[in-house]
A and B are shown apart, each in its own frame.
Chain A
Amino acid sequence: SQELEQSPQSLIVQEGKNLTINCTSSKTLYGLYWYKQKYGEGLIFLMMLQKGGEEKSHEKITAKLDEKKQQSSLHITASQPSHAGTYLCGADMEYNAGNMLTFGGGTRLMVKP
């Protein structure tokens, strides 16, 4: 979606390295969701961010939402092969409108052992 830009589109990292994926919008994001998708499978929920400046962590993955609520980043520390997959950011871009999500194009991550 042009409303939500993800970068990079793809990423290859060596196991153990850190990486960051970005999700940017020109509009205010009322809810920002990070999902992971393995090929041929559904989306697995990672984290949800709603407040400007919010940061959440789970295991080795940290997600942040900037103060203006227009950009989010997903950071993976000490990447492992199990982190491989496509990471999708999805956002609720209308206030109180039912939470229909607009998704970015995804970032395909490959982790080399």
Chain B
Amino acid sequence: GAGVSQTPSNKVTEKGKYVELRCDPISGHTALYWYRQSLGQGPEFLIYFQGTGAADDSGLPNDRFFAVRPEGSVSTLKIQRTERGDSAVYLCASSPTSLGEQFFGPGTRLTVL
């Protein structure tokens, strides 16, 4: 079956612009996670959804970052007024429940010029 997909695979934007990153989880997975991975480092947790609600957004670095999952499936990570420090690979993962293996997508590489 289809795995987790993320679009776009690459996004180049200018400082100050707004971007949206999309995640399509595996069908039926109720838990969805966003992580950010900087070059040469491990992923860092951003936000976790259980169904439609954000169960934990403690990893979002500031209020420029926001994520939604309105129908409990697709999720969108939104970044306002992008900064060069936001450049990273943004990874999405989904899981059948909030326990067990997380299935990761290929990531979106964001470059802020």
Write the residues of chain A forming the contact surface with B, with a CB cutoff of 8 angstroms.
1, 4, 6, 31, 33, 35, 40-45, 48, 88, 90, 97-106
Contacts and interface: CB of A to CB of B under 8 A. Distances in A.
Contacts of A42: 4, 91, 104-107
Contacts of A97: 56
B59 interface: yes
Contacts, number: 69
Give the dominant DSSP class at A's interface: strand
B55 A98 contact: yes
Given A33-B101, A43-B91, A45-B101, A100 B48 contact: yes
Nearest to A102: B45
A100 B101 contact: no
B48 A98 contact: yes
A101 B102 contact: yes
B1 interface: no
Given A43-B91, A98-B48, A98-B56, A48 B43 contact: no
Nearest to A48: B101
Interface residues of B, number: 29
B13 interface: no
Nearest to A41: B106
Contacts of B45: 100-102
Contacts of A43: 43, 91, 93, 104
B41 A106 contact: yes
B102 A105 contact: no
A46 to B, nearest CB: 10
A105 B104 contact: no
A88 B107 CA distance: 16
A88 B106 CA distance: 15
Given A101-B45, A103-B43, A33 B102 contact: yes
Contacts of A31: 99-100
Contacts of A103: 35, 42-44
Q: Across the A-B interface, give the 8 residue pairs with the lowest CB-CB distance, nearest first.
A: A103-B42, A43-B104, A42-B104, A42-B106, A100-B45, A98-B98, A103-B43, A99-B98
Contacts of A100: 33, 45, 48, 56, 59
